[in-house]
Amino acid sequence: MTAGILVCTEISDGRATTMTKELMQAGQKLAGRINRPLGALVIGKNIREAAGEIVSLGADTVYLVDAPAFRDSSPDVYTAIVARACREITPLVILFGQTDIGRDVAPSLAAQLGAAVTMDCVGVDIDPQTGSLVQTRPVYGGNATAIWTSGGPGPFIVAMRPRSLPAAEPDRNRTGELVTLNIADYESAHRIELVETRTEQIRGIKLEDAKTIVSGGGGIGGPEGFKILEELAQVLGGAVAATRVPCDEGWVSSSIEVGQTGSIVTPDLYIAVGISGAVQHMIGCANSKRIVAINRDPDAHIFQEADLGIVGDYRKVVPALTEAIKKIQK
Ligand SMILES: Cc1cc2nc3c(=O)[nH]c(=O)nc-3n(C[C@H](O)[C@H](O)[C@H](O)COP(=O)(O)OP(=O)(O)OC[C@H]3O[C@@H](n4cnc5c(N)ncnc54)[C@H](O)[C@@H]3O)c2cc1C
């Protein structure tokens, strides 16, 4: 049993996540380069239907593992399952998303398999001349791009940043093989006890899926100010994010924090409102296609990072912007 490239999928509500579709696109390209099959690993309960979608997205073989979904499980259990699967499948390249799961599992899987791992990549390819894996990732807060090459027998583990690649388009006429892996005894890897699960109600679009993000910082001053940002996000069909300050202050949920300790986002448009532009924040948004900054301090560092800047109090600027966009949309 072997797959040249193995995508570790993430399934949400029975469907492939956007990140998984992007990984399938990357996987197809790599598999084509080395003329080897593209495999996809699907772990969880009631996953057969999702397997059909994964085939339509380009998998030659879908490996199914009937096990607890990640959210009901622990990173240790999940890593143990993926490690066992990889030992059977022997892929050259294992692709993860730079998501909560990918961040947890990819490095510990690398340790278990004795494999190389490169996190947070925005590009991945195989050099046709040397056969080396070429990985691209932003460094120094997005101010430079590093290119790593990995050679040798592998396996190589790569975690891809969300929205750095186009998503694979489904082709319902594609056919693929379904292989059930019987992986038992993974429970012994269990070191963490899940005490409680709290499902957060996400209103509107998820951060990783948003093409437009309106992000607020310490300058917003309180939870009321975020309502002004929500109105702008709504007319633009986007999502609201924040720097660490509003999250620490409890004005917004910490799940929308962007930056070094939050999410890394790559929308088409990132509107930074009342944000100073600290490096720990910019790490999370510097690869946005366009950054627009709104800040009352003309010397704020964010203006050096932005494509367009508006100097002014956000309480005046943002509602005016929202109204102007509404007029254009009429
Ligand atoms: C290890 C570590 C990890 C970190 N990780 C993260 C991370 O993941 N994400 C993150 O964001 N930060 C992170 N930080 C914190 C980071 O260093 C900064 O402190 C933080 O990003 C600052 O947030 P801010 O720009 O919103 O707030 P501030 O620095 O308080 O800036 C507020 C800005 O709002 C402007 N302003 C004020 N009032 C108005 C108004 N009415 N209208 C318009 N503009 C106004 C001000 O001019 C100022 O520029 C981390 C720090 C450390 C040490």
pLDDT of residue 207: 87
Q: Which residues, in sequence order, are CB contacts of 330 under 8 Å at separation 6+?
A: none
Please check whether residue 240 lies inside any domain of the structure.
Answer: yes
Using pLDDT thresholds of 50, 70 and 90, give the confidence band for residue 192. confident
Torsion of CA 53, 59, 60, 62, to 10 degrees: -70
Rg of the chain over Cα atoms, rounded to whole angstroms, equals: 21
Given a cut of 90, whether residue 13 has pLDDT beyond it is: no
Mean pLDDT of 192-221: 86
At 315-325, the pLDDT tens digits run: 999 999 999 99
Q: What is the pLDDT of residue 315?
A: 98
Under the banding of pLDDT at 50, 70 and 90, the label for residue 2 is: low
Let me know whether 20 and 142 are in one domain. Answer: yes
- Omega before 37 within 30 of 0, i.e. cis: no
Give yes or no for residue 154 having a pLDDT over 90. no
Pocket test for ligand 1, best of 228, 229, 280 (most atoms within 8 A of CB): 280
In terms of domains, do 129 and 165 share one? yes
Of 162, 189, 216, the residue at which a domain comes to its end is: 189
Categorize the per-residue pLDDT at 185 as very low, low, confident or very high, splitting at 50, 70 and 90. Answer: confident
State whether 52 and 131 are in the same domain.
Answer: yes
Q: What is the whole-number distance in angstroms between the Cα of residue 178 and the centre of ligand 1?
A: 48
Residue for token digits 């994010």?
Answer: 241
Q: Is residue 196 part of a domain?
A: no
Q: Which of 137, 162, 189 is the last residue of a domain?
A: 189
Using a 10 angstrom Cβ sphere, with 0-12 exposed, 13-18 middle and 19 or more buried, the burial of residue 199 is exposed
pLDDT exceeds cutoff 90 at 196:
no
pLDDT of 312 above 90 = yes
Task: Give the CA distances from residue 103 to residues 150, 249, 305, in Å, rounded to whole numbers and listed in that order.
Answer: 20, 26, 27
The alpha carbon of residue 99 and the mean position of all alpha carbons in its chain are separated, in whole angstroms, by 5
Look at residue 1 in the predicted model and tell me its pLDDT: 59
Count of other CB atoms within 10 angstroms of residue 96 = 28
Asked if 176 and 262 sit in the same domain, the reply is no
CB contact set of 114 (below 8 Å; sequence gap of 6+): none
Q: How far is the CA of 276 from the centre of ligand 1 (A)?
A: 5
179 burial (CB, 10 Å; 0-12 / 13-18 / 19+) is: middle
pLDDT at 194 over 80: no
Q: What is the CATH number of the domain that holds 324?
A: 3.40.50.1220
Residue 92 counted as domain residue: yes
The label of the residue with tokens 């190589």 reads 156
CATH number for the domain harbouring residue 93? 3.40.50.620
CB crowding 124-161: b at 16 or more within 10 Å, else e:
bebeeeeebbebebbeebbeeeeeeebeeebbbbbbbb
Same domain, 305 and 157: no
What mean pLDDT, rounded, does the chain reach? 93
User: Number of folded domains in the chain?
Assistant: 2
The pLDDT tens digits of the residues spanning 57-111 come to 999 999 999 887 776 778 899 999 999 999 999 999 999 999 989 999 999 999 9
Dig out the tokens for 271 from the structure: 């509107």
Average the pLDDT over 27-55 and give the result.
94
Pairwise pLDDT comparison (1 vs 211), residue with the higher score: 211
Q: What is the dihedral of CA 204, 137, 84, 40, to 10 degrees?
A: 60
Domain co-membership, 107 together with 182 = yes
User: Is 202 among the domain residues?
Assistant: no
The domain boundary, picked from 189, 221, 246, lies at 189
Q: Is 256 found in the same domain as 148?
A: no
pLDDT of the residue at 303: 98
Beta bridge partners of 250: none
Percent over 90 (pLDDT), the chain:
74
Residues 172, 260 within the same domain: no
The reply to whether 195 falls in a domain is no
Query: What are φ and ψ of residue 98, in 5° steps?
Result: -80, 65
| Same domain (yes/no): 180, 215 | no
Predicted confidence at residue 198, as pLDDT, reads 77
Q: Is residue 199 part of a domain?
A: no
Shared-domain flag, residues 75 and 159: yes
**Ligand 1 centroid from CA 243, angstroms:** 6
227 and 179 fall within a common domain: no
CB contact at 8 A, 153 and 140: no
The set of residues, in sequence order, having a beta carbon less than 8 Å from that of 157 and lying 6+ positions away, is 93, 94, 96, 106, 109, 110, 113, 115, 116, 117, 118
Do 53 and 125 share a domain, yes or no? yes
- Look up the domain containing 211 and give its range: 207-329
Instruction: Identify the helix (H) or strand (E) that includes residue 30.
Output: helix 18-34
Distance (Å, rounded) from C-alpha 280 to C-alpha 295? 18
Assigned domain for 268 exists: yes
Asked whether residue 194 is domain-assigned, the answer is: no
Which protein residues touch ligand 1 with a CB less than 6 Å away?
Answer: 217-219, 243-245, 257, 259-262, 274-276, 278, 280-281, 284, 294-297, 300, 313-315
pTM of the model: 0.77
